[in-house]
Amino acid sequence: METTSTVAGEPGPAAPEETGDERAVDGFLTASFPWYGLDEAFSGPRWLMQVGTTADGTVEHGSTGHGEVPSLKVEANPDNQRFAVTVTVASRPVRRSADGTGVLEATSVSTAAWLAGSGLLSCTWPQEMERGLRQDWLDQQTSVAWELADDLGGAGWSTLTLPVDGVPTDFHYRESEYGWVLAGAAQEGVHIGAYGRGMSAYGLGFAVVKDITSYQQ
């Protein structure tokens, strides 16, 4: 899988609490590939997370949110939260890093699956857990998500067919106590990952976002 860093300098999807920044759209506007979100059948709130970039600032992936913005605050009950996040990952071949000192792996559906899996974990960890143990738990579960993403043909995944730009598309799909994750390929040179909780993945559809600025809160 590809190694990238986010605008905030941390690996993986942005934390949900950071979605209110009006400048978040800037990174989305500089991408060379189309962004995906839920199609027009979804009529609820839409919001932006952050983009992931390589060392030279090239946008490689990003996430768009739908429904309620997930919260890690103590008073928020994760079981009552309803959201679905779409992760768009640019399809890239193996290539040299910007500084010429290394090689970036090719992106794949597995990349989208891992970003979706780690994104779900980042906003659904057990709130009854002591703060000092949360990072250890997150590291452990993220490692599991990585292993699952590298084995999309394994028993941990099933197949779910959903429309992408109106075309029935097969996704790798799995559920856990924290929510659901899926990943597949689109027709526009990107891979799609998604995760959610409280909103069923069955019946969802994905489409190119015509105006990414419409996702600003």
**Residue-level pLDDT at 97:** 60
Given a cut of 70, is residue 37 above it in pLDDT?
yes
**What are the boundaries of each domain within the chain?**
20-215
Average pLDDT over residues 178-195: 91
**Residue-level pLDDT at 38:** 97
Question: How far apart are the C-alpha atoms of 59 and 7, rounded to whole Å?
Answer: 9
Percent of the chain residues past pLDDT 70, beyond the cut: 71
Which has the minimum average pLDDT: 1-15, 23-37, 122-136? 1-15
24 with 49: CB under 8 angstroms?
yes
Looking up tokens 């970039």, which residue turns up? 53
**Residue-level pLDDT at 54:** 83
